[in-house]
Amino acid sequence: MNKNYILLFVLSIFITSCDFLDVDGYFSDEIKLDSVFASKRNVEAYLWAITDNFRDEGSIHQNTDVPGPLATDEAFTMYETRHGYNGMRLVLGEISASSTYTFGEVWSRSYKAIRCCNTLLKRIDEAKDIKATDRAKILGYARFFRAYAYYKLMLNFGPPILLGDDVVPSNETLEYYDRPRSTMDETVEYICSELEEAAKNMPLTTAIMDFGRPTKGAAYGLIARIRLYHASPLFNGGQAALTCFGSWTRKTDGANYVSLQYDEKRWAIAAAAAKRVMEMENAGVPMYRLHTVEADGETPELPNNVTYDADYYEPWPVGAAGIDPFRSYSEMFTGESVLASNPEYVWGRKSGTLVANTQMAFPTKLGGWGGMALPQKVIDNYLMFDGRTIDNSSEEYPYSESGFTSTQKNFSGYRLNSGVYNMYANREARFYACVGFSECFWPMSSATSSGHYNQTVTYYYDSPNGKSNSATDFSPTGYVIKKFAHPNDAWTGTNSRRMDKAFPIIRYADILLMYAESLSNLTQTHTVELGDKTYTLSHDVTEIKHAFNMVRHRAGLPGITDVDINDNNTFQTLLQRERMIEFLHENHRYYDVRRWGIYETVESEPIMGMNVDSDKSGFYARVIPNTSRIGSRLVNKKLVLLPIPLDEIRRLPSLDQNPGWEN
């Protein structure tokens, strides 16, 4: 069978099959499947075709599987929702159970993937030329993809219908297909057990050409994340669980979908799962570590006024000395670092969508759309250069909301113009890596046409990229997300091009902060068995500080103190700030504020920004953008979960809808 024919019949399978209730195409599929399972080559083609059901994970802004940044307080735009900005659709109340847009596709495509995985698990032995080692690896991947599909369902819709190994025959009565959802506890245990089994047969590493394929670390990393969510207040008997899910019970037996009893040991299990990833090795060397770039002549000296972090001035990895914080952080996202060998990517995938989406933030007069905006809240949460907050800045590195800088600064390959508003001076490295602000310098150095590179961009009303030029293609807050833009990236001009980029599905920084968060919630010592290893875990200040401070030190910032860690409220506040900044526009914030039970509180704060209705003289003033879209943003506890498509609910009498989504 030639390669083209394989692709044709695999493609036909994905066109004709739908979720597990839609059996219209199964008879023709079964005929094709006889050919699929005739040889190892065809089985492998079938296996990797399953991943077509998972949208590019870098697609977090437009036509997405996930609500993403636009559905939370880290992004805002005036782009019309009809162009696929479904995160805005969600917060503007345009999503319903009968109109789920691409979110409904997550439900159907996840079940397509699950059905294909179950088919492969059932029929793989029909291919007689598969060796035992190859068979084990294929089965490991199939279990991983099935678990990943359930993970995506759980993350967005809550507990799904678990099918086990059932392929679901096509000739049963409707009663056969009528199945209730599992509880959250049942879902978590099933997914994690499947990932544990998958990991046994997954490779530790992949070849460079196979970058993006999941590994054992990816399976373990997903387990850590799922365990963290399961331990968090929304799903662990906290006030958030009671408020959102207190009366949500399964109609078939009255079971609570979400446990209302707090279980501290869940935090210990989450900590153990993160610790396992931290301890992974390859040939005696740590498998994962934070991405760093050595300091050079362009790296700024560390601030000399830090007295409360004893390790701060020590060489990396104990302290922050010897590395370039700006490049260490930014080059993970811009495409500068070699994607396939980045030690921080526990799992990442090359993302063409991420490359394309940089156009949403690029200046409108230079080929971009200029409107993927950051709210003022994001700007305010970035720390000063010496780690202080903006409302507690030092004399050495002051914060001011008046006046402009008088000198140009160049550091780490970044140019900070003179004449920049003082609000944007003396900020931490991640601020400059992520934020496009008025008077910000855009190199766009791949372009060779005059006027298309080395440009200073402003967002004043009457500027070329300001509100006066478009009803939608402008920044309503005066800021744009610049995180994924490489200095070479350009959208206009001769020779303009964009660097390849990868989207980090799981980063080692996330593992470290998950570990710190989990330990911080322990009040007792717990023993946890995970795989073939036993972990003893407690509120270990040294461990918490080490994990948290590595992320801070990599960013060039001093770490936190024992006092911060021992006050749980203080630490939680610091953790929430750190995750917001470290993982900006990486599809964490939407889920974080929900699992912490703070969704309604943080989303009730109005979106704010600079005054884009003014010229430069009045631009630098905090305002609520002049648009009805701000006031139309919906804050409702039903938005904690997405609605299951109404057609699914109508088909199955036993299938309960998510709270608040009756239609």
Q: How confident is the model at residue 168 (pLDDT cuts 50, 70, 90)?
A: confident
| 178, 184, 189, 192 alpha-carbon torsion, rounded to 10° | 100
Q: What is the pLDDT of residue 358?
A: 96
What count of other Cβ atoms lies within 10 Å of the Cβ of residue 43?
A: 22
| pLDDT of amino acid 16 | 34
Specify the pLDDT at position 171.
Answer: 65
Give me the mean pLDDT over the 336-340 stretch: 88
Q: Collapse the DSSP code of 477 into the 3-class scheme (helix H, G, I; strand E, B; otherwise coil) and give the result.
A: coil
Residue 19 has pLDDT above 60, yes or no: no
- At residue 272, does pLDDT exceed 70? yes
- What pLDDT, on a 0 to 100 scale, did the predictor assign at position 399? 98
Q: Does 30 have pLDDT greater than 70? A: no
Residue 33 scores a pLDDT above 60: yes
Query: Measured between alpha carbons, how far is 71 from 121 in angstroms, rounded to an integer?
Result: 37
Q: Show the tokens assigned to 276.
A: 């396992």
What pLDDT does residue 339 have? 83
**pLDDT score at 13:** 38
Q: What is the Cα–Cα distance from 410 to 283, expressed in whole angstroms? A: 40
pLDDT in tens, 377-405: 999 999 999 999 999 999 999 999 999 99
- pLDDT tens-digit readout, 74-96: 999 999 999 999 999 999 999 99
- pLDDT, tens digit (0-9, with 9 covering 90-100), for 176-201: 788 999 999 999 999 999 999 999 99
Q: Looking at the predicted structure, is the pLDDT value of residue 1 above 80?
A: no
* Residue 178 pLDDT: 87
Confidence of residue 18 (pLDDT cuts 50, 70, 90): very low
In the prediction, which pLDDT does 27 show? 37
- Write down the residue that tokens 């490779």 correspond to: 203
What 3-state DSSP class applies to 566? helix
**What is the average pLDDT value for the chain, to the nearest integer?**
93
Percent of the chain with pLDDT over 90: 89
Exposure letters 77-115 (e unless 16+ CB within 10 A, then b): bbbebeebbbbbbbbbeebebeebbbbbbbbbbbbbbbb
**Radius of gyration, alpha carbons of the chain:** 25
Which of the four pLDDT bands, split at 50, 70 and 90, describes residue 663? Answer: low
- For residue 536, the surrounding DSSP H or E stretch is strand 533-537
State mean pLDDT over 117-121: 96
Alpha carbon distances (Å) from 33 to 14, 238, 309? 12, 47, 62
- For residues 118-136, average pLDDT: 95
Helix axes 102-123, 132-157, angle to 10 degrees: 150
Tokens found for residue 592: 């974080």
Q: What is the pLDDT of residue 17?
A: 34
Q: What is the pLDDT of residue 170?
A: 67
Confidence of residue 338 (pLDDT cuts 50, 70, 90): confident
Q: Are 140 and 199 in contact (CB under 8 A)?
A: yes
Average pLDDT over residues 247-256: 96
Averaged over 611-630, what is the pLDDT? 96
Which one has a higher pLDDT value, 33 or 297?
A: 297
Higher pLDDT pick, 174 / 250? 250
Q: Tens digit of pLDDT for each residue in 467-503?
A: 999 999 999 999 999 999 999 999 999 999 999 999 9
Q: Do residues 120 and 94 lie in contact, with contact meaning Cβ atoms separated by under 8 Å?
A: no
